[in-house]
Amino acid sequence: MQGVKMRPFWKFLSVGALVLTVLLAGAVSLTIGWRPFLGPRARALTERKFEATPERLARGRYLANAVTGCMFCHSTHDWQAPGAPIVEGRVGVTISWLELFAKVSAMTAELCFHLCRTIIFARCRMRIWHR
């Protein structure tokens, strides 16, 4: 009994897939490397404890508020007031996913409305309606 012959199309397809896989692996190795796919190297955890002092708390507040700006995004804002100030008592408290979804949905609907209005206005001015 003779071995099964592979059809030319399937042979071409399998060799092409193999070559593509090797080229892709080489491209990843030469460009970004495998670390984004494998994750960061983790060091062993230690049992070190740091003393909580008022100076360290002040330093943390300074870093979170002034240097990195963490509290601007991770706080609830009064978007109706000028300058969108952070709501009193809501520093470091973000909105829930449901509130975020409602805001994004409303913003998306408003954006679509303005985009459609702009397109219609432009077509009216240029008189390029399809007949």
pLDDT in tens, 56-97: 999 988 988 888 878 777 788 888 889 888 888 888 777 666
What's the pLDDT score for residue 59? Answer: 92
pLDDT of residue 129: 46
- Residues 116 and 113: their CA atoms lie apart, in Å, by 5
pLDDT of residue 78: 84
Domain boundaries, the chain: 69-126
The Cα-based distances of 67 to 17, 20, 72, 89, 100 in angstroms read: 49, 46, 11, 21, 26
Give mean pLDDT, residues 125-130: 50
Task: Tell which wins on pLDDT, 119 or 59.
Answer: 59
**109 or 15, which is more confident:** 15
pTM, entire model: 0.38
Model pLDDT for residues 2-53, shown as the tens digit of each residue: 556 668 888 888 899 999 999 999 988 888 888 888 888 888 888 988 899 9
Q: Is the pLDDT of residue 105 over 80?
A: no
Hey, what are 42's tokens? 């983790």
